[in-house]
Amino acid sequence: MIKRTVAGVVGVVVVLAAGAAAAQGWRPPPESQRCPSKWGANDQRGAANHMKPETILRAAKLIRTGEVIELAHMLNAPSSNSPARVFSMVTKRSAQAPGVNQRGGNEEIVTTELGQIGTQFDAFPHQMIAGRMYNCVKLEDVETRNGFSKLGVENVGMLFTRGVLIDVAALKGLEMLGDNYEITVDDLQQALARQKLALQPGDAVIIHTGWGKLWGKDSARYTRSNPGIGVAAAEWLAKQDPLLLGADNAPVEVSPNPDKQLSLPVHQIALVVNGIHLLENLKLDELAARRVHEFVLTLQPLKIKGGTGSTVAPAAIR
């Protein structure tokens, strides 16, 4: 009996090691395997196609108290983003009208990378595999000086769906995961079992790592590296057919990747291979502290025609 148990454990270890090795050796699948998209050869919305009237009605049943929890960080100059992404705002007087009512007005001039700043939503032009985007759209066919002629963020529209918070930090008994901890399939499955939840097609899957605690407090550490899902976890999540994947870190995925030959492969797995949007830099401290694991997630990207993404202000409603 003992020998069988030991053999079984060894077998499990071997399988897990093989899975980890496969994940570390990930390479993008060829175009013949990823195109056309399951949503159709001319599709531009990917997993956003889950948004239908029945999706909204089903999600609305989760609203019992009408409470709203905001999930966006403040968008301002010291936002914890890549140093190459600029946000600056200058206020100006826009009106000092004549009249007995003495009306005055103020406006602002914002200079920023509007599609990729703050709490942000990634659209399909944001990432490529060898010059090919989602549905194997060629960069040279759609790139213009005024945005992308296909796959822009304006195609996404309003999102209102079931949100599921997978609290991996809580599973580990931590406020914040380690600097480059790779979240595994087992971590996700254990956290879901602990929360007594199962994923459904069209869900917004949100992962709590605790990394958001550094936002606005230690920008250097926040951007240098972060815990997040690895290749194996991303591929498992993609098989659950979510509408989007989000997290309280900058790239959703572990960074840098343990495989030094890979650069943000989960971005490619989600956006390019599977047509699943990413939601980054979320503020999840309140959801996690109050153990709100199931809710309605609502957001709408800005209508930036041909944009690679959009700053957003999502909310959880329960």
**What is the pTM for the complete model shown?**
0.89
CA 59, CA 56: separation in Å to the nearest integer? 5
pLDDT for the residue 15 = 40
pLDDT digits 0-9 by tens, 166-185:
999 999 999 999 999 999 99
What is the C-alpha end-to-end distance of the chain, expressed in Å?
49
Name the β-bridge partners of 189. none
What ranges make up the beta strands (E) of the chain? 68-70, 87-96, 104-112, 120-122, 143-144, 147-148, 159-167, 182-183, 204-208, 228-229, 244-247, 277-280, 294-299, 309-311, 315-317
- Decide: helix, strand or coil at residue 54: helix
- Decide: helix, strand or coil at residue 270: helix
CA 117, CA 294: separation in Å to the nearest integer? 27
Domain boundaries of the chain, sorted by first residue: 22-79+113-317
Q: Cα 176 from chain centroid?
A: 18
Fold of 22-79+113-317: Glucose Oxidase; domain 1 (3.50.30)
Alpha helix positions (H), the chain = 2-24, 31-34, 53-60, 139-142, 168-171, 185-195, 219-224, 231-239, 265-267, 285-289
pLDDT for the residue 95 = 84
Residue ranges in the chain whose pLDDT is less than 50: 1-21
- Decide: helix, strand or coil at residue 31: helix
Q: How far from 269 is each of 31, 33, 140, 194, 264, CA to CA, in Å? A: 13, 12, 21, 27, 9
pLDDT for the residue 298 = 98
CA 128, CA 291: separation in Å to the nearest integer? 36
Within 8 A by CB and 6+ apart from 173, the residues are none
pLDDT for the residue 277 = 98
pLDDT digits 0-9 by tens, 197-220:
999 999 999 999 999 999 989 988
Nearest C-alpha neighbor of 38 from the set 241, 308, 246: 241
pLDDT for the residue 23 = 58
